[in-house]
Amino acid sequence: MAEFKVALIPGDGIGEDVTAWAFDIARTAASRHGAELTGVVFPWSCRFYKETGAMMPPDGIETLRAFDAILLGAVGWPDAVPDAVSLHGLLLPIRKAFVQYANMRPHRLLPGVTGPLRSEGFDILCIRENTEGEYSGAGGRVHQGTAAEVAVETAIFTRAGVERILRFAFDMARTRRGILASVTKSNAQKHSMVFWDDITRIVARDYPDVAVSHYHIDAMAARMVMAPESLDVVVASNLFGDILTDLGAAIQGGLGFAASANINPDRSAPSMFEPVHGSAPDIAHLGIANPIAAIWSAAMMLDHLGQSEAAAAVMAAIEATTARGIGTVPGRDRTETIGQAILDALG
């Protein structure tokens, strides 16, 4: 029997409400398909920061390295810890340290879910560069607090970083409908974004079977609303991908349905699976968070671990549940009702 060790980091807010459901359902599906998942919970969060002065222990990254995968709920509780501190203390260092350079975010309507658009037949996979670009953390502030203050935040794009995310996206397009949209802003940003476009053209030579188009981020924002069915795989830089995937979440009915996988394609370190929704302090611990985004993310984890049948079983259980109208309307059904219905649907 294949065995996998999963690090569970519920984190903050609704992350604590949904992560156990996601893991339970993944573990149940895995066990029915001949694999055993063992979970170890780490209480790393803003509460942990308040108690210890750090979001995770100094050896936190090394501790996580021993796991096959990480299932994360959400990070952030701005009333207690500034977001820039909590995110740079837990989520962002994990993505970078484990070279999880490909952030995959699927956007499609689940059965029974009504989105805000007229167009319902879209199936988009956003691939977000996840380790560099606008999130590099390079920069600083000088003359702080004076009228002469300067803040600099430098986006860093490396040949290695851009090429690998593009190759990943082309590979993904090959497994789907063979259509890739590369998103930049090369009409305004004449260095990094023209560079990205250049690398896209170079990599495209190795993928004559993939139809690639170039879009500017502003045009892509409009296209995702007006003609989402024309899109298949969309690849973008870290910040652009961040923004487009909240738009993607919106058109798929809301953040409660938006799953994500932070993938280390080389498998040199664990990958991390997390819903896109964040900690949602306004609805935290009320028992009304939709666990579907977290459960879908756990299905992506099973897939990454080579448990494709278990992953498909989880997706089928999610879809059977939403098709019955459970979990389809934000805030209506309880976390427990939705989680239990999906567990039951696993059969």
Active-site amino acid positions: 135, 185, 218, 242, 246
CA contacts within 13 A on the Cβ side of 272: 29
Q: Which of 24, 132, 134, 242 forms a contact with Mn ion (CB under 5 A)?
A: 242
Cβ of residue 260: shortest distance to ligand IPM, in angstroms?
Answer: 7
Cβ of residue 72: shortest distance to ligand IPM, in angstroms?
Answer: 10
Nearer to Mn ion, 134 or 242 (CB): 242
Q: Is the dihedral of CA 83, 51, 9, 255 positive or negative?
A: negative
Binding partner at 115 among ligand IPM, Mn ion, none, C-beta below 5 to 8 Å by kind: none
Q: Which of 129, 132, 232, 242 forms a contact with ligand IPM (CB under 6 A)?
A: 242
Q: How far is it, in rounded angstroms, from Cα 77 to Cα 260?
A: 20
By CB under 6 A, tell whether 132 contacts ligand IPM.
no
List binders of ligand IPM among 71-100 (CB under 6 A). 76, 87, 91
Q: How far is it, in rounded angstroms, from Cα 157 to Cα 251?
A: 29
Q: How many residues does the chain have?
A: 347
List binders of ligand IPM among 249-308 (CB under 6 A). 276, 278
Q: Which two tokens stand for residue 122?
A: 């879209």
Cβ of residue 55: shortest distance to ligand IPM, in angstroms?
Answer: 13
Binding partner at 73 among ligand IPM, Mn ion, none, C-beta below 5 to 8 Å by kind: none
CB atoms within 10 A of CB 250: 17
Cβ of residue 86: shortest distance to ligand IPM, in angstroms?
Answer: 9
Q: How far is it, in rounded angstroms, from Cα 177 to Cα 194?
A: 26
Give the DSSP per-residue string, 123-164: EEEEEEE-SSEEEEEEEEEESTTSTT-EEEEEEE--HHHHHH
Where along the sequence are the contacts to ligand IPM (CB under 6 A)?
A: 76, 87, 91, 242, 276, 278
